[in-house]
Chains A and B, each alone.
Chain A
Amino acid sequence: MTFGVRLLVWGERACFTRPEMKVERVSYDVITPSAARGILEAIHWKPAIRWEIDRIKVLKPIRFETIRRNEVGSKLSSVSIAKASKAGRTDTLLTFVDEDRQQRAATILRDVAYVIEAHFEMTNKAEAADSIGKHLDIFTRRARKGQCFHAPCLGVREFAANFQLVEAEAELPEADPVHLGKSIDLGWMLHDIDFANDMTPHFFRAQMTDGLIAVPKFMPREVRT
Chain B
Amino acid sequence: MSAIANRYEFVYLFDVTNGNPNGDPDAGNMPRLDPETNQGLVTDVCLKRKIRNYVTLEKDGGEGYAIYMQERAILNNQHELAWKALEIPADAKDGYKKLPKDAAKAKELTDWMCQNFFDVRTFGAVMSTGVNCGQVRGPIQMAFATSIDPVVPMEISITRMAVTTEKEAEDQSGANRTMGRKHIIPYGLYRAHGYISAKLAERTGFSDADLELLWRSLINMFEHDHAAARGEMSARKLIVFKHENVMGNAPSHVLFDAVKVQRVKGEANTPARSFADYQVTVDVAAVPAGVNVTDLI
Contact = CB atoms under 8 A, between A and B. Distances in A.
A69 B250 CA distance: 33
B25 A70 contact: yes
Contact of B193 (A82, A95, A160): A160
B160 to A, nearest CB: 24
A68 B25 contact: yes
Contact of A78 (B26, B99, B193): B99
Interface in B208-262: 245, 247-254
Given A72-B69, A162-B251, A162-B253, A87 B193 contact: no
A148 B141 contact: no
Nearest to B125: A76
Given A13-B144, A68-B24, A91-B79, A150 B197 contact: yes
Interface string A94-120: 111111000101000010000000000
B177 to A, nearest CB: 30
B75 to A, nearest CB: 7
A21 interface: no
A93 B141 contact: no
A158 B237 CA distance: 21
Contacts, number: 160
Interface in A174-217: none
Given A65-B36, A83-B88, A150-B137, A77 B43 contact: no
Interface residues of B, number: 67
Contact of A98 (B32, B35, B71): B71
A75 interface: yes
A105 to B, nearest CB: 6
A50 interface: no
A172 interface: no
B70 A94 contact: yes
Interface stretch (A27-35, A53-61, A139-147): A139-147
A131 B200 CA distance: 26
Contacts of A162: 251-253
Nearest to B137: A150
A213 B259 CA distance: 36
B294 interface: no
A78 B137 contact: no
A124 interface: no
Contact of A92 (B88, B106, B127): B88
B275 interface: no
A66 B26 contact: yes
A103 B24 CA distance: 10
A79 interface: yes
Nearest to A104: B25
Contact of A75 (B79, B96, B126, B143): B126
Given A82-B100, A87-B88, A92-B82, A147 B247 contact: yes
Given A76-B126, A149-B247, A87 B112 contact: no
A23 interface: no
Interface stretch (B60-68, B147-155, B276-284): B60-68
Contacts of A153: 141
Interface of B: 24-26, 32, 34-36, 41, 43-45, 49, 61, 66-72, 75, 78-79, 82-83, 86, 88-89, 96-97, 99-100, 106, 108-109, 112-113, 116-117, 125-130, 134, 137, 139, 141-144, 146, 193, 195, 197, 199-200, 245, 247-254
Given A78-B130, A86-B89, A162-B253, 20 more contacts: A76-B113, A76-B125, A79-B99, A83-B96, A85-B108, A91-B61, A92-B79, A92-B83, A94-B67, A94-B69, A95-B68, A96-B70, A98-B72, A142-B247, A145-B251, A146-B254, A147-B248, A148-B248, A149-B247, A162-B252
